[in-house]
Amino acid sequence: MTTTGTPPLPKAELHLHIEGTLEPETVFELARRHDVALPYASVEELRAAYDFTDLQSFLDVYYANMAVLRTRDDFAALASAYLRTCPEQGVRHVEMFFDPQAHTARGVAIADVIGGLTDAIEHHADDVSAGLILCFLRDRSAAEAEETLRAAEPYLDRIVGVGLDSAEVGHPPSKFTSVFERARGLGLKPVAHAGEEGPAGYVTEALDELGVLRVDHGIRAIEDDALVARLVRDRTPLTVCPLSNVRLACVPGIGLHPLPEMLAAGLNVSVHSDDPAYFGGYADANYAAVREGLGFTDDQLRTLAANSFTSSFLDDEAVQRLL
């Protein structure tokens, strides 16, 4: 089922946290299986807790729910459930984020996290192309990020890039200059969340200090004319997540989202779903939100979809094969 009634546009999903696809029903199912106590009596009660006031209020629930992810099979089932939905959303390629520290801190082996996600990617390879981006949690130490990268080294052939996520304000990109330098040296593509809640200056820092090839969110870049000119000149991709920005109160409502202004400024924007189990919908719902909430035309939607492919880490030949 699509939300548009017409076949969904082919697109690449470049901003999706696989842990953010953990649906409330699955939280309960896995909690029962692993005997994990939940602070909610029902799926409905859990869903009612998804009433976020800012990024941190979401992250508190997001990390708490992850307690039910324990085994390699759990990670495989999580990614499989998501990848299965891709064809009906028009999603032909995914570069999915995962947060190893949120699992290793609970005693789950990184081998099980990466192993399970890879099992699912291989299982669905005929339906959708997919890669992994390992994210460092920016509200934890740089030393812990270094340890995480070291622990991931045996699995580098399964990882496309590194990212930076979690609580943004107070945790500038420069905290992670050294680990990103090492990751780039290992051949990993650098990306970072910046300018979601944090200031435009964090976007500049992510470019200057981390050498990012893509900026995740980046909506506050629009507040800095010199930065906009630089991003336009370099065609730096910005992976924008409209439903997320509304649900986390980064923008006051869909009708006031800066995406039209960003597109008009010549920025290389594409639209993605961030944490779809928490924010009200997957890729197609985000396209519907900009069509219905911002009046985007079919041509503009096609531009967003085309940008999603050219902003991916696939080469031109691989993109052509997917279209």
Q: Which residues bind Zn ion (CB under 5 A)?
A: 274
**CB closer to ligand ADE, 9 vs 27:** 27
- Min dist CB 135 to Zn ion, Å, is 8
Contact yes or no for 198/206 (Cβ under 8 A)? no
Say which DSSP state 211 is in: -
307 touches, from Zn ion, ligand ADE, none (C-beta below 5 to 8 Å by class): none
- By CB under 6 A, is residue 165 in contact with ligand ADE? yes
Beta strands in the chain (DSSP E): 11-17, 91-98, 129-137, 159-165, 189-194, 214-217, 237-240, 268-271
**Annotation says 196 is catalytic:** yes
- By CB under 6 A, is residue 166 in contact with ligand ADE? yes
- Min dist CB 319 to ligand ADE, Å, is 26
Catalytic residue of the set 13, 95, 168, 196: 196
Q: At what angle do helices 142-152 and 110-123 cross, to 10 degrees?
A: 50
Which H helix or E strand runs over 234? helix 225-234
Rounded distance between C-alpha atoms, residue 87 and residue 128, angstroms: 7
**Among positions 70, 171, 193, 247, the unique one binding ligand ADE when judged by CB under 6 A:** 193
- Min dist CB 178 to ligand ADE, Å, is 21
- By CB under 6 A, is residue 129 in contact with ligand ADE? no
Tell me how far CA of residue 121 lies from CA of 22, 118, 128, 209, in angstroms.
16, 5, 8, 32
- By CB under 6 A, is residue 244 in contact with ligand ADE? yes
Contact yes or no for 158/118 (Cβ under 8 A)? yes
247 touches, from ligand ADE, Zn ion, none (C-beta below 5 to 8 Å by class): none
Residues 6+ apart with CB under 8 A from 76: 115, 116, 117, 119, 120, 123
**CB closer to ligand ADE, 9 vs 270:** 270
- By CB under 6 A, is residue 13 in contact with ligand ADE? no
220 touches, from Zn ion, ligand ADE, none (C-beta below 5 to 8 Å by class): none
**CB closer to ligand ADE, 209 vs 274:** 274
Q: Which pair of tokens denotes residue 191?
A: 């990306």
- By CB under 6 A, is residue 20 in contact with ligand ADE? yes
**Among positions 74, 95, 205, 274, the unique one binding ligand ADE when judged by CB under 6 A:** 274
Rounded distance between C-alpha atoms, residue 86 and residue 13, angstroms: 9
- Min dist CB 228 to ligand ADE, Å, is 21
214 touches, from ligand ADE, Zn ion, none (C-beta below 5 to 8 Å by class): none
Contact yes or no for 100/127 (Cβ under 8 A)? no
Say which DSSP state 235 is in: T
284 touches, from Zn ion, ligand ADE, none (C-beta below 5 to 8 Å by class): none
Rounded distance between C-alpha atoms, residue 35 and residue 20, angstroms: 22
**CB closer to ligand ADE, 95 vs 196:** 196
Contact yes or no for 318/129 (Cβ under 8 A)? yes
Question: Site for ligand ADE (CB under 6 A): how many residues?
Answer: 10
**Catalytic (active-site) positions:** 196
Residues that bind ligand ADE (CB under 6 A): 17, 20, 55, 165-166, 193, 196, 244, 274-275
